[in-house]
Amino acid sequence: MTSANIIKKTGNIRAKSRIKILTAARTEFVLQGFRGATVQSIADRAELPKANVLYYFKNKENIYHAVLEDTLEMWDQGIGDIEANEGPKIAIEKFIAAKVRMSFKEPEASKIYAMEIIQGAPHLQDYARTYQRQWVREKAKLFQQWIDNGEMAKVDPVHLIFLIWSATQHYADFDTQILTIMNQADFEENDVEQVIAFLTDIILRGCGLI
Amino acid sequence: MTSANIIKKTGNIRAKSRIKILTAARTEFVLQGFRGATVQSIADRAELPKANVLYYFKNKENIYHAVLEDTLEMWDQGIGDIEANEGPKIAIEKFIAAKVRMSFKEPEASKIYAMEIIQGAPHLQDYARTYQRQWVREKAKLFQQWIDNGEMAKVDPVHLIFLIWSATQHYADFDTQILTIMNQADFEENDVEQVIAFLTDIILRGCGLI
DNA sequence: GTCTATATGCTGATAGAC
DNA sequence: GTCTATCAGCATATAGAC
Query: By 3-state DSSP, what share of chain B in percent is helix, strand and coil, each rounded to 5?
Result: 80, 0, 20
Q: Does the pLDDT at position A13 exceed 90? A: no
Q: Is the Cβ of B182 closer than 8 Å to some Cβ of chain A?
A: yes
Residue B201 with chain A: CB contacts under 8 Å: 155, 206
Q: Which domain CATH number covers B10?
A: 1.10.10.60
Nearest nt by C1' to B17 Cα: C1
Nearest-angstrom CA–CA distance, B94 and B9: 41
Task: Please indicate, yes or no, whether residues A29 and A69 belong to a single structural domain of this protein.
Answer: no
Q: Which domain CATH number covers A143?
A: 1.10.357.10
Q: Are B129 and A182 in contact (CB under 8 A)?
A: no
Taking an 8 Å cut-off on Cβ atoms, the answer to whether A198 and B156 are in contact is: yes
Residues 45-84 in A having a C-beta less than 7 A from any atom of strand C are 50-51, 54, 58-61
Q: Does the pLDDT at position A1 exceed 50? A: no
In which band, very low, low, confident or very high, does the pLDDT at A44 lie, cut at 50, 70 and 90?
Answer: very high
CA proximity to A137, closest of A91, A74, A188, A82 = A82
Task: Please indicate, yes or no, whether residues B93 and B51 belong to a single structural domain of this protein.
Answer: no
Task: Please indicate, yes or no, whether residues B51 and B91 belong to a single structural domain of this protein.
Answer: no
Measuring alpha carbon to C1', the residue closest to nucleotide C4 is B51
Helix axis angle for A157-173 and A88-105, nearest 10°, is 20
Task: Please indicate, yes or no, whether residues A173 and A114 belong to a single structural domain of this protein.
Answer: yes
Question: To the nearest whole percent, how much of chain B has pLDDT over 90?
Answer: 87
Question: To the nearest whole percent, how much of chain A has pLDDT over 90?
Answer: 88
Taking an 8 Å cut-off on Cβ atoms, the answer to whether B166 and A162 are in contact is: no
Q: Is the Cβ of A208 closer than 8 Å to some Cβ of chain B?
A: yes
Number of domains in chain B: 2
Domain termination site, one of A32, A58, A84? A58
Nearest-angstrom CA–CA distance, A176 and A188: 14
| The predicted structure's pLDDT at residue B10 | 64
Region A102-118: mean pLDDT is 98
Task: Please indicate, yes or no, whether residues B12 and B114 belong to a single structural domain of this protein.
Answer: no
3-class SS at A158?
helix
Q: Is the Cβ of A192 closer than 8 Å to some Cβ of chain B?
A: no
Nearest nt by C1' to B37 Cα: D11
Task: Please indicate, yes or no, whether residues B50 and B118 belong to a single structural domain of this protein.
Answer: no
Q: Is the Cβ of A185 closer than 8 Å to some Cβ of chain B?
A: no
Task: Please indicate, yes or no, whether residues B139 and B196 belong to a single structural domain of this protein.
Answer: yes
Nearest-angstrom CA–CA distance, A29 and A127: 20
| The predicted structure's pLDDT at residue A107 | 98
CA proximity to B99, closest of B163, B154, B188, B142 = B163
Q: Is the Cβ of B84 closer than 8 Å to some Cβ of chain A?
A: no
Task: Please indicate, yes or no, whether residues B197 and B97 belong to a single structural domain of this protein.
Answer: yes
Domain termination site, one of B42, B58, B74? B58
Task: Please indicate, yes or no, whether residues A74 and A50 belong to a single structural domain of this protein.
Answer: no
Taking an 8 Å cut-off on Cβ atoms, the answer to whether B33 and A33 are in contact is: yes
Cross-chain CB nearest to A117 (options B34, B160, B177): B177
Task: Please indicate, yes or no, whether residues B132 and B79 belong to a single structural domain of this protein.
Answer: yes
Nearest nt by C1' to A54 Cα: C13
H helices present in chain A, as ranges: 3-36, 39-46, 50-57, 60-78, 88-105, 107-118, 125-127, 133-148, 157-173, 175-182, 189-206
Task: Please indicate, yes or no, whether residues B54 and B70 belong to a single structural domain of this protein.
Answer: no
Q: What is the pLDDT of residues B3-55, one digit of tens each?
A: 444 455 567 888 889 999 999 999 999 999 999 999 999 999 999 999 999 99
Residue A190 with chain B: CB contacts under 8 Å: none
Domain termination site, one of A12, A41, A58? A58
User: Å from A67 (CA) to C16 (C1')?
Assistant: 30
Task: Please indicate, yes or no, whether residues B90 and B119 belong to a single structural domain of this protein.
Answer: yes
The answer to whether some atom of strand C lies closer than 7 Å to the beta carbon of B33 is: no
In which band, very low, low, confident or very high, does the pLDDT at B132 lie, cut at 50, 70 and 90?
Answer: very high
| The predicted structure's pLDDT at residue B119 | 98
Q: What is the pLDDT of residues B158-196, one digit of tens each?
A: 999 999 999 999 999 999 999 999 999 999 999 999 999
Nearest-angstrom CA–CA distance, B123 and B169: 20
User: Å from B91 (CA) to D13 (C1')?
Assistant: 50
Q: What is the pLDDT of residues B85-127, one digit of tens each?
A: 999 999 999 999 999 999 999 999 999 999 999 999 999 989 9
| Domain, as residue range, for B39 | 3-58
Q: Is the Cβ of B180 closer than 8 Å to some Cβ of chain A?
A: yes
